[in-house]
Amino acid sequence: MVKVEPGELLQILPRLDSSRSRSYLSIFGDVTIERTGYGHDRLEVALLDARLHLPRRQYSYLLQQWLAAFVIDDAHAEAVQKLQTILGISIPVRASENLNREQASGVELFQDSSPVPEPSQEGGIIMVSADCKGVPLVRSALAGIEEDETRETPAPSSPHHRRGKGEKANTKRMAAVGAVYTIEPFVRTIDEVIDELQRKKAKRRRPHPQHKRVRADLLLGKVSLFVWLVDELCRRNPEGTNPDISLLVMSWK
């Protein structure tokens, strides 16, 4: 029995004559899975994929998670090399790039759909912080971004372009990073702040941030980040009853 919502069309797919195989690459190696397929006119489905919770691509979810953890600190080529050294599994650099891009596509939707924390779980002070970091861009990526911003097509750069005096090898773009969280007041005496020993003792009772949410933006920069910071501040302190502290480290031109 298939439940169909009003207005939806139910398409019955015939069973295919031959089974369909797919590769499944996990941390233990490559496995070929044979499945019964159903399809018609370039539309094919395999019910076993859903039953086994198989990923859309051949790489297991755990393998994707480990690869993403390496990519956070290293370039894709170095990340896949480390994974190959540990597991003996070879993953193309292009596949790592595509996986990372697909994983990032759902971040904004997830962040926007995150519910507002319960007031009983929040601290008495709401903190807002932001900082900027210069990220080097290769010439081809920089040209694409400048084209989107100015809507003008820049002249293509020669691969053997000789830099002029004072011209840098690459151009940096400012990535903006912001965070919003709540925390309870940390009351200390002057002696506790000045004295190192008392400071270490006071650290044991230091309150921890509650429901800390962090967002970074490279393409849209500071304006987009500040829109999110203000929106998050209004959602978590709608009446303005809690004091808020903002720590912003960035330059403006």
* Average pLDDT score over residue span 153-172: 55
Is pLDDT of 125 > 80? yes
Is pLDDT of 253 > 60? no
* Average pLDDT score over residue span 13-32: 88
For tokens 């940390």, the residue is: 186
The continuous run of DSSP H or E covering 186 comes out as none
- 252 or 67, which is more confident? 67
AA letter at 157: S
Is pLDDT of 140 > 70? no
Provide the pLDDT for residue 7.
66
Residues 93 and 78: their CA atoms lie apart, in Å, by 9
Provide the pLDDT for residue 91.
93
Which residues lie across from 128 on neighbouring strands? 180, 246
Residues 192 and 190: their CA atoms lie apart, in Å, by 5
CB 199 within 8 A of CB 193: yes
User: Rounded to the nearest 5 degrees, what angle is found at the Cα of 172, between the Cα atoms of 216 and 230?
Assistant: 30
- 17 or 208, which is more confident? 208
How close are the terminal C-alpha atoms of the chain, in Å?
Answer: 63
CB atoms within 10 A of CB 253: 3
* Average pLDDT score over residue span 105-129: 88
Residues 225 and 242: their CA atoms lie apart, in Å, by 22
Residues 1 and 146: their CA atoms lie apart, in Å, by 54
Beta strand 244-249 with 210-217 is unpaired
pLDDT tens sequence across 164-219: 555 555 567 778 899 999 999 988 888 777 777 777 777 788 899 999 999 888 77
Instruction: Kindly indicate the confidence band of residue 110, based on its pLDDT and cuts at 50, 70 and 90.
Output: confident
Mean pLDDT of the chain: 81
- 251 or 110, which is more confident? 110
Provide the pLDDT for residue 250.
64
Is pLDDT of 161 > 60? no
